[in-house]
Structure 1
Amino acid sequence: MSKTRAVKFSDAEIRRQAADPAVHDLRDPRHPGLYLRFGQDRQRGSWYLVKGKAWNHIARFPDLGAAAVLAELPALRQRLLRDSSATVALGGLATCGQLIDWYGNRMSLDRSLSAKRKAGAKSAIKCHLKPRLENVPVRELTAAVLDKELMWPCQQELSLSYVHQLFVLLVVAFLQAYKLGLIDKNPMADMKFVDFTKARIMPKAARLRGVHLVEVVPMLTDLFESRPGEAMLAIMMLCHGTRVGETRMARWSDISIPDGEWFIAAENTKTRTEHRLPLTAQAKALLTRYRAIQISQGYEGIYLFPSRRGRAISEGQASAVFSRIGQGEWTSHDLRKVARTAWTDLGIDGHIGEMLLNHSLGKIASTYINTQARAQRLAALEKWHNWLDERGFKSIHNLTDTQYEDSQNPVQATGGVGCEPVSNIVNGEVSK
């Protein structure tokens, strides 16, 4: 009995035939010259393209399934037709699943990306891209296939903005693979998001407006008395328009009261550029009071917002804080939004507002505007914090009128807790 059996190639058929130890090779009459030879364990095998007496090894099974090999077969035949001695081994990125896995691993090792960005990409790949596109051969990925398998099903379940993120991730992955020669053609080169939907991606509506701060600021004042750490996280974001990620990782060594500056390291920012925020008199007093509370409670560590393990609170812990504070009515990002909106309403220059938010100013602006505009940014924050004072902020920082007039005076902590002058408390670590 022949050890070679003719079948219609499919992964399911190959696994059925693997159960018969009498079968050594498989072939498909529809594709002359293509063979699958089983390995000793019968779970794996090798693909061959036979021309004359030469058995040209193509790839391993199940690393490359039947659909992927059949998709590449015409190109392999052309390669052998042009040069009978040419190598026809496939590089391993024959399916979309393999390409996505390759790019996901590449992102995980990219030091220029934040942990949050890596986690987001990993989730997108695991939950959406791989399940829907894993077995699609790269050569067969057309706009119609992408629409059927990914874009249209996803828009029924996910927000349009997230579907756009999935599309962009896929575009970048294919472009990178093509540039490195891992695929010989980029099937997504001419695809655009508008090819799949004409719906516009609308920005999320602000759930926190300036008029709400009349209630929110007093609420934070009360919370500061019972849970100062949670209140302080929200207050710092509201006062400076910072992101939750860069705020939760703040260190006391990054706060300089004498210099009036909060330094945020590049690795903690979304834009991967360091951020320096001037501190107003109110912010200095607030930080002093908060540090004094920490010390009175026995914490003299390096973080403004420490976890029980001694590190900065995690993203999940920070999210839980705002779930409790906002009670589902607003999120941490709404604090940043309301600050930016209020700055515009207060007449603060738009360019200064963007600098305070640490937004990218664009290539042209970055080239021609070589200044940090510290004085203008400080003036903007002073106007903002004065506005917040009228809505209850003054009750949190407890700054006196005298200290308003002369912000260079050392600000004393309230409550009689053991607190040294500010320069020894905030500008670096407390030594014992």
Structure 2
Amino acid sequence: MSATREVKFSEAEVRRQAADKSVRDLRDPRHPGLYLRFWSNRERGTWHLVRGKKWVPVARWPELSVSAVLAELPALRQRLLRSPATAPVVSGMDTVGLLLDWYADRMWLDRSLSAKRKAAVRAAIRQHLHPCLGDLPVKYVTAELIDKHLIWPAQTKLSLSYLRQMFGMLLTAFRQALKLKMVDSNPLAGVRFSDFTKARIAPKAARLRGVHLPELMQQLAQAFEAAPHDAMLALMMLAHGTRVGETRLARWSDVTLAAAEWFIPAAHTKTRTEHRLPLTAQLRALLVRYRAIQQAHGYEGAYLFPNRRGHCLSETQASMVFTRLGQGQWTSHDLRKVSRTTWTDLGIDGHIGEMLLNHTLGKIASTYIHTQAMEQRKLALEKWHAWLDRIGFAAIHGLKEALFEIPQNSPQTNGGVVSGNLSELVISEDSK
């Protein structure tokens, strides 16, 4: 192996030489004393400053690119002259792009994050943050440059709420890098999104309101006859206020008719906490009818909402369901919104409503309230489903005898007894 090869330093030239296993070291006559020594895997290397026979490591490649090490070279030489015994190693995160790449890789390996969240982080970095800020040296980052290169150009084409999320990502990346001493300082410490714009970020307007529900229920009744899988996904979300992600992943083993409960594992929820939803008599009847339809079509698999390969619906496939149903007029999230809004109109306690949505409780509530309030949740859903019955839900689930609305504060319940001629089918968590 040749000890050293002379080249003109550039990132392209270094990568070209890395492919030649006969080369160990690179030097550029224009920059005396600076050497790059490749590691055995050839994908990485170490920058050295050589004084006499002493090789002093100063940085790693490709963490510190060619352009970055050349920019730092005068400062490195001065530091080496002042303190010959100390290796003047510099941070490899010289640009915002390198910091973002490190943060994206870190998030990708975080087991506490959902696959959807990981993909969203990568997409935001790849499509927006990297193109706008990737080449900006970390040591020159200021609020003014963030405003110039990211905030103000991006606000012309992106929503402020999404832009605020991206800025939050950038802040988190800098904070984490500083904690781990990957950077010397956090140039964005104390900077807030409101420093860039005072425009109010309004929540998205609801495209479904209570007055639309009778027409929607009629539409879902028709869809249940033609495409029961599509209609059932929407009905489960409307009936419980669940998210589309946790609903599409539902397994029959998570549904227990005998205990009248739908269990959603923590791994399937946005909050990473398990969620238990009481099943009303209406929902038990609907599930029995839906399961019979699946079996009539020869499906005996594990999922409520399978695709053609027998797996659960993918995120894209679930989105297409609501493209077909909503026809651009409403989305899956609008079902969750209209459920929550109507619960309030029905007088359902706000705290119970938040529990049903599986929202994260505030710090005080989490500290002092140690109950899942299952009985109150059940009463709330019975009140909600009785209201839905009056606008057409009863025709879909097929429960024959009328169910009387139970006032939310009444201590009396129906004990979970299903009125009408319900199948004795029981699908439990340990029956599979």
TM-score by structure 1 length? Answer: 0.85
Tell me: CA distance 1:370–1:46, structure 2 relative to 1, closer, same or farther (3 Å).
closer
Distance 2:134 2:209 in 1: 44
Q: What's 2:109 paired with?
A: 109
Distance 1:147 1:321 in 2: 39
Deviates more, 1:239-248 or 1:142-151: 142-151
Kept in 2: contact 1:67–1:135 (CA 8 A)? no
Distance 1:225 1:159 in 2: 39
User: Are residues 1:370 and 2:376 paired?
Assistant: no
Tell me: CA distance 1:288–1:46, structure 2 relative to 1, closer, same or farther (3 Å).
closer
Kept in 2: contact 1:68–1:135 (CA 8 A)? no
Kept in 1: contact 2:64–2:91 (CA 8 A)? no
Per the TM alignment, residue 26 of structure 1 is displaced from its structure 2 partner at its CA by 4.6
Per the TM alignment, residue 337 of structure 1 is displaced from its structure 2 partner at its CA by 0.3
- Residues 56-85 of structure 1 show CA distances to partners (whole Å, capped at 9, x for unaligned) of 343356653355336655764675465321
**1:401 match: secondary structure:** coil
**1:59 match: secondary structure:** strand
- Output the amino acid matched with 2:330: W
Per the TM alignment, residue 136 of structure 1 is displaced from its structure 2 partner at its CA by 1.6
Tell me: CA distance 1:37–1:234, structure 2 relative to 1, closer, same or farther (3 Å).
closer
Distance 1:34 1:151 in 2: 42
Distance 1:404 1:394 in 2: 12
User: Are residues 1:140 and 2:140 paired?
Assistant: yes
TM-score by structure 2 length? Answer: 0.85
- Over the aligned positions, Cα root-mean-square deviation in angstroms equals 3.2
Tell me: CA distance 1:26–1:150, structure 2 relative to 1, closer, same or farther (3 Å).
farther
Distance 2:123 2:44 in 1: 29
Kept in 1: contact 2:207–2:334 (CA 8 A)? yes
Distance 1:34 1:389 in 2: 82
Distance 1:105 1:144 in 2: 27
Tell me: CA distance 1:352–1:287, structure 2 relative to 1, closer, same or farther (3 Å).
same
Q: What's 2:428 paired with?
A: 427
- Output the amino acid matched with 1:133: L
Distance 1:14 1:290 in 2: 62
- Output the amino acid matched with 2:428: N
Tell me: CA distance 1:45–1:211, structure 2 relative to 1, closer, same or farther (3 Å).
same
Distance 2:283 2:89 in 1: 64
Distance 1:34 1:362 in 2: 59
**Which aligned pairs between 1:145-160 and structure 2 lie closer than 5 A?**
145-160=145-160
Structure 2 residues without counterparts, runs of 5 or longer: 16-25, 406-413
Distance 1:88 1:239 in 2: 63
Q: What's 1:130 paired with?
A: 130
**1:262 match: secondary structure:** strand
- Residues 157-215 of structure 1 show CA distances to partners (whole Å, capped at 9, x for unaligned) of 21111111111111111111111111121122222111222112111000110101111
User: Are residues 1:210 and 2:210 paired?
Assistant: yes
Q: What's 1:416 paired with?
A: none
Distance 2:90 2:352 in 1: 54
Deviates more, 1:322-331 or 1:172-181: 172-181
**Which aligned pairs between 1:135-284 and structure 2 lie closer than 5 A?**
135-284=135-284
- Output the amino acid matched with 1:422: L
- Output the amino acid matched with 1:169: M
Tell me: CA distance 1:62–1:214, structure 2 relative to 1, closer, same or farther (3 Å).
same
Distance 1:88 1:411 in 2: 81
User: Are residues 1:380 and 2:383 paired?
Assistant: no
- Output the amino acid matched with 1:408: V
Kept in 2: contact 1:72–1:139 (CA 8 A)? no
Kept in 2: contact 1:283–1:397 (CA 8 A)? yes
Kept in 1: contact 2:286–2:397 (CA 8 A)? yes
Distance 1:141 1:329 in 2: 43
Q: What's 2:95 paired with?
A: 95
Distance 1:183 1:141 in 2: 12
- Residues 317-363 of structure 1 show CA distances to partners (whole Å, capped at 9, x for unaligned) of 00000011000010000000000000111111110100000001112
1:25 corresponds, among 16, 20, 28, to 28
